[in-house]
Amino acid sequence: MTVLHWATISPFLLAILIPFLYKYARPIHTGWFVLVLPLVLFIYFISFLPITSDGGVIEYSAPWVPSLGINFTVYIDGLSLLFLLLITGIGSLVVLYSIYYLSKKTERLHNFYVYLLMFMGAMLGVVISDNLIVLYTFWELTSLASSLLISYWYHRKKSTYGALKSMLITVFGGFAMLGGFSLLYLMTGTFSIREIISQVELVTSSSLFIPAMILILLGAFTKSAQFPFHIWLPDAMEAPTPVSAYLHSATMVKAGIYLVARLTPVFGGAAEWFWILSGIGLLTLCWGSISAVRQKDLKAILAFSTISQLGLIMCLLGLGSASLYFGYGTESTVYTTATLAAVFHLINHATFKGSLFMTAGIIDHETGTRDIRKLGGLMTIMPITFTVSLIGTASMAGLPPFNGFLSKEMFFTGVLNATELSIFNMQTWGMLFPVLAWIASVFTFLYCLIMFFKTFTGKFKPENYDVHVHEAPIGMLVSPIILGSLVIIFGLFPNLLAYTLIEPAMAAILPTLLGGDDVFKVHIYHWHGFNPELFMTIGVIVFGTILFLLMKKWAQTTIYLRERDPLNRVYDGTLSGLATGGNKLTSFYMTGSIRHYLIYIFSFLVLFIGFMFVRLNAFAFGGETAPITFFETAIAIVMVIAAIVVALARTRLTAIIGLGAVGYSLATFFVFFRAPDLALTQMVIETVSTVLFLLCFYHLPMFKQKFENVKFKLGNLMVSLGVGILVTMLAISSHNSKLFDSLKDYFVAASYDEAGGKNMVNVILVDFRGFDTLFEILVLGIAAIGIYSMIKLRLAKEEQ
């Protein structure tokens, strides 16, 4: 365990202390204690920047389950460091924000910060782990922590609904991902991502390549809210706003992006990877941006916006993976623009989306509503919030000079480059990419306009609000201001990021493209000259503005009015269908009738053993048999008649006597087959048990006339005939297929010499196999005590 290991799990350790801090340091808001940790971690992780920007990596391993190849290996390269800085940096800001957002008097802060720290630690673990199983462990912890945070106000029905939904969907994906990891292990024999990448040809040549890829992508897509698994994210907006800002915009939803980027060296270069990623990404982008336009709730707009931006990043990662197809060379460098855009937009999105969520939270906190139909005219009342929102929204819409503009330009470059791809059938379908991307951008622009203008412009109507509306306290504004400043700084000086974060991250995503000591040379310009990207952006702005101005025309259409995502119906239907279906199935066969259960058991016996009989052709007839004597025939006939009498008896007495007759005939059989001990025992036992039957049944009521339908009786008959025939066949066949001699010769020889007894049966019972006898008498004893206690305890109860 090195310092890095401790740093990774430090949030968990602090989480243990939180309840005590909450209880014994009541006057201080618990968040202040929490704030220290992400700040320290952020500074600590920044110290790795010089190493990774020179292309170096840091790797330490601590054994966890070494026998299974599971080690807690921390591995920091450009990509991990980028995420580590995002998590701790935005984590600090969110904690600071939450100190002012959550009241220390009314909220259960200890719960909140324990969950938040748990989430932070899990997220750090996900991005720092090199071992797939460790990564999976932390991955599931993020799902768990996320659900706990969504249901933080657990008395609200919507919160628990959202938590359950996100849990079900992300855990479904998590399990699929575990399957994919196991397949990777099967192919390469290691859980270490480093080692898997070094033996990547084993993976690409394997027949398990596609299944592993699809399973892992299921995990990534559910976590990153890609179509059609995005439906959990809008419902996760029931969480407190700091949580939404942190988990559902900046960090957790990017875990899937991280996983995809991390495993690009393994799967990238394959057509399936390219198509699934870029296709689903593009679909999510369009779907999310179009759905966001229909939302009336600030956080819901932001949720769908997050979905669409994640789709954008995913699409870019897919397009960027095409460069791996070409390998190292000048040809591929054109396509790495997409990867560059993905990494850059990832950072940008975290900054502007974080600030937008925080301002939405401020508006909610200060006005009591998030509904854009009620809001309006807040510009002069909340000037700082207004400014920060303006910066964030403009960046999200892709306007210069903010960072969103730069990454959007690069996105257009990426999709335009994709049309020139000569692989993966792109000649046919490539044109779709820029067209769909452009349409999605128009809608992105549109919802940005709606969100901004509906909130801040127009007339202020005090009657819409239950509370006195005013600007938020400065503490709450610090975090969004910092993020907003970052948006501007990254927008004006994008190359600050280029050498420090983006180049090492790209080197981690596309390691095989670099020969020797090469590094990616990234330089981001504001002005590219008059190129197609610029015209596309101008088109987006023009069409977006036109659509917004015409809003009155289409605002009353049903499509716009309907807010819920139609895919929710599928989710709800599946869930309730599973419940009712399971219920129906169970109540269909679990009838509570022992007769039915017996029929299942016997039918299974007959069908299964019968099937095996036929399949293995196990029939064996016509072996050697002893001659049949007259007495045996006579006793057999008596026995059969007695058995039929038992089956057809109308009164109990007849049945008991019939059973007795069967028992005595059996004893006679024992006599004829020369088993005196058995005959004696059978005789006495039969007598005693008949006495018992008479004792018991004397008190029972008469047989009830049962009105069973003929079909049921016929079924019974079939089953019992089946069992009878089966057992008979089994007995005959096994008699005729004895493979080895019996042990009897040993007992005959040894019973007098070694055990000193002439009665072989008794010697076997008490000497050779006395152990069995010991437990048989134990069984008898238990039966006696059981009967005694059943009768006596029942009496005692009645007396009470």
Residues in contact with other proteins by CB under 8 A are 676-677, 680-681, 684-685, 687-688, 691-692, 695-696, 755-759, 761-763, 765-767, 770-771, 773-774, 777-778, 780-781, 783-785, 787-788, 791-792, 795
Cβ closest to other proteins, residue 327 vs residue 770:
770
Instruction: Find the shortest distance in angstroms from Cβ 629 to other proteins.
Output: 22
8 Å CB contact between 148 and 141 = no
Instruction: Find the shortest distance in angstroms from Cβ 700 to other proteins.
Output: 13
Instruction: Find the shortest distance in angstroms from Cβ 660 to other proteins.
Output: 15
Cβ closest to other proteins, residue 478 vs residue 761:
761
Cβ closest to other proteins, residue 550 vs residue 691:
691
Q: List the one residue out of 302, 524, 523 whose CA is nearest residue 400.
A: 524
**The dihedral formed by the CA atoms of 235, 237, 238 and 243, expressed in degrees to the nearest 10:** 140
Cβ closest to other proteins, residue 385 vs residue 682:
682
Instruction: Find the shortest distance in angstroms from Cβ 692 to other proteins.
Output: 7
Residue type, 595: R
* CA 111 vs CA 105, 160, 235, 364, 476: distances in Å: 14, 16, 21, 22, 21
Distance CA 504, CA 57 (A): 10
Cβ closest to other proteins, residue 488 vs residue 755:
755
Cβ closest to other proteins, residue 616 vs residue 795:
795
Instruction: Find the shortest distance in angstroms from Cβ 664 to other proteins.
Output: 15
Instruction: Find the shortest distance in angstroms from Cβ 658 to other proteins.
Output: 22
Cα dihedral sign for 692, 697, 698, 700?
positive
DSSP codes of every residue in 688-702: HHHHHHHHHHTTSPP
Instruction: Find the shortest distance in angstroms from Cβ 626 to other proteins.
Output: 22
**Tokens at residue 510, please?**
């596309």
Which H or E run contains 448? helix 432-456
Instruction: Find the shortest distance in angstroms from Cβ 783 to other proteins.
Output: 7
Cβ closest to other proteins, residue 431 vs residue 774:
774
Q: List the one residue out of 358, 405, 403 whose CA is nearest residue 382.
A: 358
8 Å CB contact between 152 and 243 = yes
Distance CA 168, CA 308 (A): 22
Instruction: Find the shortest distance in angstroms from Cβ 789 to other proteins.
Output: 9
Cβ closest to other proteins, residue 470 vs residue 792:
792
Cα dihedral sign for 423, 428, 429, 431?
positive
Distance CA 749, CA 753 (A): 7
% helix / strand / coil in the chain, to the nearest 5? 75, 0, 20
Across the chain, which distance is largest between two alpha carbons, in Å? Answer: 116
| H-type alpha helices, 295-372 | 298-326, 336-367
Distance CA 774, CA 766 (A): 8
| Beta-carbon-side half-sphere exposure of residue 553 (alpha carbons within 13 Å) | 5
Residue 368 main-chain phi, psi, to 5 deg = 85, 5
Instruction: Find the shortest distance in angstroms from Cβ 709 to other proteins.
Output: 36
Instruction: Find the shortest distance in angstroms from Cβ 766 to other proteins.
Output: 5
Cβ closest to other proteins, residue 555 vs residue 685:
685
Distance CA 750, CA 748 (A): 6
Cβ closest to other proteins, residue 17 vs residue 780:
780
Q: Three-state SS for 62?
A: strand
Q: Which residues pair with 61 in a beta bridge?
A: 73
Location of structure tokens 């019973």: 751
Cβ closest to other proteins, residue 644 vs residue 785:
785
